[in-house]
Amino acid sequence: MDWLLAALALFNLFSMVMVFSPRSVKRKDVPWAMFGTALLATELAWIWLPLQIFIAWLLALGGALESGLGNLALFILAVTWPGLVWSIWMSTKAQATVEDALSRGLGHNYRRQIPPAAQAMTRQEVTFRDWRNPLAMRRPDVEVLRNIPYGPGGVRQQLDVYRPRFIPEGGCPVLLQIHGGAWMMGDKSSQALPLMYTLASRGWIVVAANYRLSPSVGFPTHLHDCKSALCWIRENGREYGMNPDFVAVTGGSAGGHLSALMGLTGNRRELQPDHPDTDTSVQACIPFYGVYDMLVRENQHPNRQVYERFLRGKVIYETPQENPQLWDLASPIVQVQPDVPPFMVVHGTHDSLAVVAEGRTFSRKLRELSHSPVVYLEMPGAEHAWETVHSLRTEHTVDGVHRFLEWVRAGNAQPASEQQPQPEP
């Protein structure tokens, strides 16, 4: 019994170190194992803490404290439990954090600028019932159409459509969701489910798209595929109840990077070779915890070559010296210009994979150059991919994204001028 208690204590100690150690210590490479343990200690701390206490109590009853090892393990647990309490406490700040970010980016009266009909579709209060089951995603009022091809590339060029069972006349606005996974893994059906199901239940249609993955393909093929999925929406969306005149784009991690590029490179013919004349501008962009500068030009990361080492030869086939233009294209921060859609940039302060400085620097660059509103939501205590499960933080984040989208859809943002397809070089 004492060894079981010791194993639990070591695991919890490791996860707490991952949460609280300085970014410069644990962010030198891509720490996948660190991210996994830290997520349990942050987003699911409200379950993990009482479960640990219960397990420790059972093991103590079984004799775990009859040895020095067991008593040491219990001491370590007791030392680490305040960290879990801290995580729970930080999650209670989510509502105020979201509201403050929206007010700063859109104006303090932004809620009054959302039409009453759209206001009625937003959630007015988050209750424990909304997040008590972290993995309960499906909703009876949402229909999911799966594996619709948008290109000839098999499963990697398919998309899913999440839509309300009742489609109003004129169709529903559209949100295109791009999954993450380091450009080398991931699937359309496993990420952002709370956001997709919630918006679909509130009058939106969400399209979740796969794209071809590295190392089989190199950048910018991933971006080409995302634009092809957008073209499918514009060309076929009305058949599925969509209003393709309003399409927003979102995604997390690698999907955050690609969704940001989608917002910044609309109607560039060289990036949509299969649909050169289809409109690939978007009306709003909400990237989550993305990487926005592959060459770390502004010291966002303690290791300036971290992304270059990870991407070179696997995701981007040429070096920065061989093709600097390609690395600039892969860096959303370089693509920022005045004529871009409204952005809502979302990042967690305790992100293990994409340091929070990425979100801060990118949103600052957007504010400097963009003529459209920019919202920067920095969620205290949040890990990478926090919104993939239901939690208090997730529910308030989803509500904030919904309000942002309805505000933009109401025409409050100064619209970017119509971008025309650029001539081929």
The residue length of the chain stands at 425
Locate the DSSP E strands across 189-241: 205-209
SS3 149: strand
> In the chain, what is the straight-line distance between the N-terminal and C-terminal CA atoms, in Å?
70
Rounded Cα distance between 81 and 24, Å, is: 24
Rg, Å, the chain Cα set: 22
351 a catalytic residue = yes
CA distances to 35, 45, 49, 230, 383 from 15, rounded to whole Å, are 9, 11, 12, 39, 12
Within 10 Å of residue 120's Cβ, how many Cβ atoms?
Answer: 11
Cβ density class 182-209: b for 16+ within 10 Å, e for less: bbeebebeebbbbbbbbbbbbbbbbbbb
Secondary structure letter of residue 238 according to DSSP: G
Token pair in block for residue 363: 């949103």
Token pair in block for residue 265: 């490179």
Q: Which of 257, 301, 347, 384 is catalytic?
A: 384
Rounded Cα distance between 112 and 105, Å, is: 15
Residue with tokens 């592959």: 294
Count of H-run helices and E-run strands, the chain: 16, 8
399 a catalytic residue = no
100 a catalytic residue = no
Q: Residue 346: beta bridge partners?
A: 288, 377
Q: Which of 160, 279, 293, 351 is catalytic?
A: 351
Rounded Cα distance between 184 and 85, Å, is: 35
Kindly list the catalytic residues.
Answer: 253, 351, 384
